[in-house]
A and B are shown apart, each in its own frame.
Chain A
Amino acid sequence: MNFRTPLNAILNSYKFIENTFKKIINDSQKIMNSPDCDKALEVLDENTPKMKKFISMGSNSSVLLLSLIEDILDLSKMDSGTFKINESDFIIEDLINECSDIFYFQ
């Protein structure tokens, strides 16, 4: 990294933090989407519902943690002027249900 001016230092630090967080996000998504996790849930289906509840809480908490990291990432993007809105079609009811589901078990 080239830290010649204070502005460069700030911009490069943002880039460094952004890349680090991106890696954390990728790793978190890999864990969440891994077949082992599904297998673990299948095994838990046969076991106590309480354990399944705890796994769901852990999974929901990781989603919340991910959203916190994304918030911090976006703050740095806004400060560096690289923040962009991604237009996409979606179903509002599904979006509300997905958000509410995260809090049902808490």
Chain B
Amino acid sequence: MDSGRIKQVLLNLLSNSFKFTFSGGITVGAKIQYMHDQNFLKLSVHDTGIGIKEEDQKGLFKLFGMVSSKNSLNPNGCGIGLTVSKKYITHMGGEIEFHSEYGVGTQVSVYIPYKAPIDSSCKFAFETFESLSIGDECNS
């Protein structure tokens, strides 16, 4: 696996979540998931942000495609993060899954083929979570 590119993807997803989350939190998860006769590393970023309207979701992975950012914490996006992330994951043979509900939050999951053997010493076969809280303290 390409750790540099996976880090890029995670940074892009976290950056997007951070821009549109004003209260609640952002949760990052990692685990091994078996599907389609293969092991996958599943990375997920879940936020309690403003969510994305259904009509805006179609153009999300287009280059320079951006959702109206008037509610964003940082409106200076370029519209390339998700496009590049999707291309990275596709190059690695994986896929990106996207669920968003307007006003509730967004969850983006990334599945990357995991070829190494898994034994009992493999710690992240179990779920590992890291969460970030967004609130008054963080914005002061």
Chain A residues near B (Cβ < 8 Å):
64, 67-68, 70-72, 74-75, 78, 83, 85-90, 92-93, 95-100, 102-104, 106
Contact = CB atoms under 8 A, between A and B. Distances in A.
A66 B88 CA distance: 17
Interface in B58-76: 63
B92 A64 contact: no
A91 to B, nearest CB: 8
Interface in B1-27: 1-8, 10-12, 14-15, 18, 26
B1 A88 contact: yes
A88 to B, nearest CB: 5
A67 B8 contact: yes
A71 B84 contact: yes
Contact of A87 (B2, B15, B41, B130): B2
Contacts, number: 83
Given A71-B81, A75-B84, A97-B130, A90 B28 contact: no
B30 A92 contact: yes
Contacts of A68: 78, 80
10 contacts: A75-B80, A87-B1, A88-B2, A93-B124, A96-B128, A100-B130, A103-B14, A103-B15, A103-B18, A106-B138
Interface residues of B, number: 34
Contact of A72 (B6, B12, B80, B128): B80
A85 B6 CA distance: 11
Interface string B26-61: 101010000000000100000000000000000000
Nearest to B7: A95
A97 B11 CA distance: 11
Contact of B2 (A67, A78, A85, A99): A85
B78 to A, nearest CB: 7
B88 A103 contact: no
Contact of B12 (A71, A88, A104): A71
A68 B123 CA distance: 31
